[in-house]
Amino acid sequence: MNEKLKRPAGILVLQWNDEPVVAYRNLVVDVGLRKLASSALVLTQFGAGSGTTQPDYTDVELEDEIGKITGQSGGYPTLVGDILQNAFLVDTDELNGTWHEVGLFYEDDTLFARVLVTEREKSSADQVAVWYYVDLVN
């Protein structure tokens, strides 16, 4: 029997400096889903960009990438039950520019998920805490 792999659901949480957290539901793209099903690679990178086009399942990169960072603890996520979790701290000297899109990437730079966020200018005065939660079984 050839069962179709369910598309995991993901949540992105951002906290700018000491402000309240903001949560977004992100889109797991096709290439990321295929790699999740067939690869031992792990999700280790967070990227930000200024693109404004709605995410689509066919996306393979951020529309207008500012850059990427590796997550805390070497970027390796943890698995708690069916929830894949990863945390990133974007320091004051990282990913500065206008954020309008963010994404989660495998260690080989393959895009896993992309989401549009409320537009915000990230400057050297800002630290941003990022958490990704991906429900692998919905």
pLDDT at 80: 80
Which residue, among 15, 4, 10, 20, has the nearest Cα to 111 in the 3D structure?
10
pLDDT exceeds cutoff 60 at 112: yes
Rounded average pLDDT over 114-127: 95
65 compared with 32, residue with greater pLDDT: 65
Does 61 reside within a domain? yes
Does 2 reside within a domain? no
Does 46 reside within a domain? yes
pTM given for the model: 0.86
Does 53 reside within a domain? yes
Does 81 reside within a domain? yes
Per DSSP, what are the bridge partners of residue 52?
A: none
pLDDT exceeds cutoff 80 at 3: no
Lowest mean pLDDT among 4-13, 24-33, 87-96, 98-107: 4-13
Does 4 reside within a domain? no
Range of 124's domain? 9-135
The torsion angles phi and psi of 36, rounded to 5 degrees, stand at: -60, -40
Percentage of the chain beyond pLDDT 70 is: 86
pLDDT at 40: 65
Q: Name the domain count of the chain.
A: 1
100 compared with 71, residue with greater pLDDT: 100
3-state helix, strand and coil shares in percent for the chain, rounded to the nearest 5: 10, 50, 40
Does 1 reside within a domain? no
